[in-house]
């Protein structure tokens, strides 16, 4: 939710942002009108209510004829107050409805454009030259079969498309990655968290996932709860309606959870393997901090993501995601894309977003300083999303016979140097 003060003082800022995102610019002017109407109705109601309060008080002490007369007036006033109140809440609601549709105001540094207009910030590592090594790389599906690590056929049989089993070293690989990620996060000052993945509507709404992203969210109608697509949701909502202390530095949480995505509208995309699935596990970093610290924190989150990828010894690049491809809460987003040899392409494996005060305003998460009580900033970043990281590790570290070298950092957690055909 954007700040209404910004709307009044600098509506062009919001218009330009909506435009850059390819979203509805008219909403801004609709909101200005709705907000004015709302404030007017509020003032009217408050005046009437003040009158009523005063009158009510005098009724208590009055006697006899005077009392009857006062009661008559009060009765009439009560009716007026009631209708003014109804009007106020109606206008409040319609303003809120528009307000919730407007996305966060993009960072001036965010490249403007659609999905393809990202800016490449850097390349790290060099993709292996398999031709020079004299063999054709196998894709992760094939390697998964050779190692008996990934079973997509039985996944489909039991759970439908975009489902899979991790078995044997596949399952062990997940545990190793998670343990390494959590130990890295704890060393960096994160509080490790295992959050609920089934959440109530305010948590989902507050994090901005019921807007344009709603079609990708699983909803359990009977109980009116949602399955989260990322632990960002329960981590953000953890401090919902609280005043927290971020004056002395950011509060950081690392959540490990399953993530559920409907993947609606992606029917043709990534149908092979485990790049795009309905359920996966992920370690997510989440920060609450002062708004003025958000940009620096964003850089730190990116660095932690890079540290993890470096430890996996995988070539990757970092991109600055374009305005049209940002989530509604984010003002800027960096993606790390790992090299996938068999696709001859970089594919997103982690992502970090600066959401400034957008989520905190909705979730009512604030901090206090000398100037008063204000919304905090929130940021999130993937430390590791298991299936895609497994794809990257298997494909990049494979050997001609289908065995796979385990990155140094994972060896203590996995207890193996090499994954062997099973």
Partner RNA sequence: GGAGGGCUCGCAUAGCGGCCGAGUGCACCGGUCUUGAAAACCGGCAAGGGAAACCUUCGUGGGUUCAAAUCCCACGCCCUCCGCCA
Report in angstroms how near the CB of residue 30 gets to RNA at its nearest.
20
Looking up tokens 């995988």 gives: 314
The residue from 60, 160, 265, 268 that contacts RNA (CB under 7 A) is 60
Does residue 240 bind RNA (CB under 7 A)?
no
Instruction: Identify the burial level of 390 via C-beta atoms within 10 angstroms of its C-beta, where 0-12 means exposed, 13-18 middle and 19 or more buried.
Output: buried
What is the rounded distance in angstroms from the CA atom of residue 181 to the CA atom of residue 255?
A: 10
- What would the x/- binding string for RNA be over residues 36 to 55, using CB under 7 A? ------x--xx--xx-xxxx
What residues have CB less than 8 Å from 206, skipping those under 6 apart? 236, 237, 240, 359, 362, 363
The smaller minimum CB distance to RNA, of residues 55 and 240, is found at 55
Report in angstroms how near the CB of residue 233 gets to RNA at its nearest.
18
The smaller minimum CB distance to RNA, of residues 74 and 311, is found at 74
The residue from 13, 32, 77, 112 that contacts RNA (CB under 7 A) is 77
What is the rounded distance in angstroms from the CA atom of residue 107 to the CA atom of residue 189?
A: 27
Candidate segments 56-64, 134-142, 158-166, 376-384, binder of RNA by CB under 7 A: 56-64
Whether 183 is catalytic is no
Whether 347 is catalytic is no
- Paired residues of 346 in beta bridges: 339
Does residue 57 bind RNA (CB under 7 A)?
yes
The smaller minimum CB distance to RNA, of residues 50 and 121, is found at 50
Report in angstroms how near the CB of residue 346 gets to RNA at its nearest.
41
Report in angstroms how near the CB of residue 202 gets to RNA at its nearest.
11
The residue from 6, 10, 36, 56 that contacts RNA (CB under 7 A) is 56
Q: In the window 337-366, what residues touch RNA (CB under 7 A)?
A: 366
Active-site residue, selected from the candidate residues 351, 357, 362, 366: 351
Mapped onto helix, strand or coil, the DSSP state of residue 396 is: helix
Candidate segments 72-80, 101-109, 167-175, 230-238, binder of RNA by CB under 7 A: 72-80
Report in angstroms how near the CB of residue 316 gets to RNA at its nearest.
38
Q: Using an 8 Å Cβ cutoff, are 350 and 184 in contact?
A: no
Report in angstroms how near the CB of residue 56 gets to RNA at its nearest.
4
- Paired residues of 315 in beta bridges: none
Q: In the window 266-305, what residues touch RNA (CB under 7 A)?
A: none
Q: How many CB atoms lie within 10 A of CB 380?
A: 29
What is the rounded distance in angstroms from the CA atom of residue 128 to the CA atom of residue 159?
A: 35
Report in angstroms how near the CB of residue 53 gets to RNA at its nearest.
4
What residues have CB less than 8 Å from 210, skipping those under 6 apart? 201, 204, 217
Q: How many CB atoms lie within 10 A of CB 28?
A: 21
What is the rounded distance in angstroms from the CA atom of residue 382 to the CA atom of residue 376?
A: 20
Does residue 97 bind RNA (CB under 7 A)?
no
Task: Give the orientation angle of helix 26-61 with respect to helix 64-99, to 10 degrees.
Answer: 160
The residue from 6, 10, 33, 59 that contacts RNA (CB under 7 A) is 59
- Paired residues of 199 in beta bridges: 226
The residue from 33, 69, 71, 157 that contacts RNA (CB under 7 A) is 71
Query: Phi and psi of 179, rounded to 5°?
Result: -65, -40
Tell me which residue of 371, 411, 193, 220 sits closest to 286, measured CA to CA.
193
Does residue 372 bind RNA (CB under 7 A)?
yes
Whether 276 is catalytic is yes
Binding site for RNA (CB under 7 A): 42, 45-46, 49-50, 52-57, 59-60, 71, 74-75, 77-78, 81, 243, 366, 368, 372-373
Return the active site residues: 261, 276, 348, 351, 388
């Amino acid at each position: 939710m954007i700040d209404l003060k910004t709307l009044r003082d600098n509506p062009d800022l919001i218009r330009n942002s909506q435009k850059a995102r390819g979203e509805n610019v008219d909403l801004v002017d609709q909101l200005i009108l709705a907000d004015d109407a709302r404030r007017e109705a509020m003032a009217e109601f408050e005046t009437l209510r003040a009158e009523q309060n005063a009158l009510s008080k005098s009724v208590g002490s009055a006697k006899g004829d005077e009392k009857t007369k006062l009661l008559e007036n009060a009765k009439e006033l009560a009716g007026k107050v009631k209708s003014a109140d109804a009007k106020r809440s109606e206008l409040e609601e319609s303003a809120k409805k528009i307000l919730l549709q407007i996305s966060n105001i993009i960072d001036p540094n965010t490249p403007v454009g659609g999905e393809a207009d990202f800016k490449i910030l850097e390349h790290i590592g060099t993709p292996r030259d398999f031709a020079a090594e004299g063999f054709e790389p196998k894709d992760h599906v094939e390697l998964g079969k050779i190692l008996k690590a990934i079973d997509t056929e039985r996944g489909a049989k039991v759970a439908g498309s975009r489902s899979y089993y991790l078995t044997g070293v596949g399952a062990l690989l997940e545990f190793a990655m998670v343990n390494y990620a959590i130990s890295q996060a704890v060393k960096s000052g994160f509080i490790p968290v295992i959050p609920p993945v089934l959440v109530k509507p305010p948590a989902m709404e507050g994090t901005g996932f019921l807007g344009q992203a709603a079609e990708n969210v699983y909803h359990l109608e009977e109980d009116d709860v949602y399955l989260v697509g990322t632990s960002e949701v329960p981590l953000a909502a953890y401090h919902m309606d609280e005043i927290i202390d971020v004056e002395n530095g950011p509060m950081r949480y690392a959540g490990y959870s399953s993530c559920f995505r409907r993947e609606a509208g992606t029917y043709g995309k990534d149908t092979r393997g485990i790049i795009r699935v309905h359920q996966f596990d992920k370690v997510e970093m989440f920060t609450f901090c002062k708004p003025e610290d958000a940009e620096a924190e964003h850089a730190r989150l990116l660095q932690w993501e890079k540290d993890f990828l470096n430890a996996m010894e995988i070539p990757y690049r970092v991109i600055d995601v374009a305005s049209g491809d940002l989530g509604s809460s984010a003002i800027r987003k960096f993606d790390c894309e790992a090299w996938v040899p068999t696709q001859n392409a970089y594919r997103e494996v982690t992502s970090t977003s600066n959401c400034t005060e957008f989520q905190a305003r909705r979730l009512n998460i604030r901090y206090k300083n000398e100037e008063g009580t204000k919304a905090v900033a929130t940021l999130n970043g993937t430390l590791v999303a298991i299936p895609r990281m497994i794809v990257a590790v298997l494909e990049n570290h494979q050997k001609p016979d289908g065995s796979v070298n385990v990155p140094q950092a994972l060896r203590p957690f996995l207890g193996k140097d090499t994954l062997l055909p099973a």
